[in-house]
Amino acid sequence: MPDLLWPGDHHAGEILTDAAVLDALLQVESAWSTALGKAGIAPTEAGVTVGALRDLIADDDVEQIAVEAESGGNPVIPLVRRLRDGLGSSTAGTWLHRGLTSQDVVDTALMLCVADGFDAVLVELDAQAGTLVRLAGDHRHTGMVARTLTQHAVPMTFGLKAAQWLHGVLDAREQVASLTFPVQMGGAAGTSAAVAELSGRGADAGPVAMQTGAIAADILGLAPLTPWHSVRTAVTRSGDAAVGCTDAWGHIANDVLALSRPEIGELSEGSGGSSSTMPHKANPVLSVLIRRAALSAPMLGSTLHLAAADAVEERTAGAWHVEWDALRTLVRRTVVAARQTSLLIGELDVHGDRMQANLAGAGASVRSEQESMATIAGHAPGSEYLGATQQYIDAQLDRARRVATEGS
């Protein structure tokens, strides 16, 4: 259900909703039961499909599982109890969840959900890059005033500003594209001792225990990795990528907010928002909402790092638990901001005539640096003062084209 107090939340769809997380938990249990059979640890009939597990969960079970999760501190305990009750004395029921611990299932399920979130973000980043390539190219010669610390500085072009936005978006894309989403399959304390014991291979059981995790990873489409119980890099890197995205989008939103002020009037949102009392207003609502995400993301990311820094022993009390909602909230909000940024720049109105007028109105002040440089060099000031603007624009356009080619 969309969040009434986070306008635009519907853009995130089912990503990391309770229903999506529950389904991911079921996927993990199914993949593990199948992996036990494929590795020769359990009978092949121990494997149970995701569909079969879904059939054991009633529509109102999500809420009840959430309530029951309090007694054990996580939702896996009541979920596994339901599934075993539903499977009864069958081989699948006997072998379900054997060799796993709750942390394995929660961590791996969250990786599944977070991967879905970043798949959606990557689509938007690519769309944004394409839009910004067009804006930078179309406006490479559209003159405007560069502003530093809110004041007029020197001449620039809007094409360069769009290229700088593109620079940030491409940096964010690099972070997202470099993410890996690993399984967590280590058992009670990350030793896989239960799997080794179940295999009956004694001291020679290590390889088959690792193989079982790799098989489950392949089924789930996640990266195989040795257990990482208290090493929270997979979580913090995901958080960092999300914050990197909102940083880049916040920069764009802040520029639009500043340049769309009536007294500047150089940019405006294609479909500005309304006011409940002032009919004349066309508020830059998308920019406001994107900035909102950029301002809230670092705190959520810092919660993930705080939890990682508080890691102790083989499962951290409280710090592991605080990650779940922080990660869910951060990733959902990042997906929302991704979509809103695509809409913002896709519909952005660029008022080149106003940019030129403001540049002309700034008068000689924006040429003062040029005058001083020319005096030092002993020659008359040049006809323009744009330096390597065109080369810097081309550098980002070329980079975007390389990324697009590599991704195709």
Q: What is the tens place of the pLDDT at every residue in 286-325?
A: 999 999 999 999 999 999 999 999 999 999 999 999 999 9
Q: What is the mean pLDDT of residues 378-383?
A: 95
- pLDDT one-digit tens code per residue, 235-271: 999 999 999 999 999 999 999 999 999 999 999 999 7
**Is residue 1 one of the residues assigned to a domain?**
no
**Is residue 248 one of the residues assigned to a domain?**
yes
Give me 281's structure tokens.
Answer: 């207003």
Whole-angstrom distance, CA of residue 43 vs CA of residue 36: 8
**Is residue 16 one of the residues assigned to a domain?**
yes
Give me 342's structure tokens.
Answer: 């695509």
The three-class DSSP label of residue 381 is coil
**Is residue 335 one of the residues assigned to a domain?**
yes
Per-residue b/e over 96-131, b at no fewer than 16 CB within 10 Å? bbbbbbbbbbbbbbbbbbbbbbbebbbebbbbbbbb
Whole-angstrom distance, CA of residue 136 vs CA of residue 345: 12
**Is residue 90 one of the residues assigned to a domain?**
yes
Q: What is the mean pLDDT of residues 140-156?
A: 97
Whole-angstrom distance, CA of residue 183 vs CA of residue 96: 18
**Is residue 2 one of the residues assigned to a domain?**
no
pTM of the full structure: 0.96
Whole-angstrom distance, CA of residue 197 vs CA of residue 9: 46
Whole-angstrom distance, CA of residue 369 vs CA of residue 107: 56
102 a catalytic residue: no
Contact in structure between 132 and 165 (CB atoms under 8 Å): yes
Spot the catalytic one: 134, 315, 354, 367.
315
CATH number at residue 128: 1.20.200.10
**Is residue 367 one of the residues assigned to a domain?**
yes
Amino acid (1-letter code) at residue 72: G
**Is residue 4 one of the residues assigned to a domain?**
no
Closest CA relative to residue 77, chosen from 37, 106, 112: 106
Q: Which helix (H) or strand (E) holds 226?
A: none
Using pLDDT thresholds of 50, 70 and 90, give the confidence band for residue 282.
confident
Q: Taking 60 as the threshold, does the pLDDT of residue 97 lie above it?
A: yes
- pLDDT one-digit tens code per residue, 46-87: 999 999 999 999 988 999 999 999 999 999 999 999 999 999
Give 143's DSSP letter: E
Of the CA atoms within 13 Å of residue 165, those in its CB half-sphere come to: 29
Give me 377's structure tokens.
Answer: 């060099």
Spot the catalytic one: 271, 274, 275, 365.
275
Cα 121 to Cα 80, 180, 331, 335, 384: the distances in Å are 32, 15, 9, 6, 40
* Cα angle 14, 20, 22; round to 5: 160
Note down the domain range covering 33: 9-407
Whole-angstrom distance, CA of residue 273 vs CA of residue 285: 5
Q: Taking 50 as the threshold, does the pLDDT of residue 138 lie above it?
A: yes
The three-class DSSP label of residue 182 is strand
Cα 366 to Cα 109, 131, 144, 267, 386: the distances in Å are 56, 30, 10, 20, 11
Number of domains in the chain: 1
315 a catalytic residue: yes
In angstroms, the first-to-last Cα distance of the chain is 34
Whole-angstrom distance, CA of residue 198 vs CA of residue 26: 22
Cβ contacts of 391 within 8 Å, gap of 6 or more: none
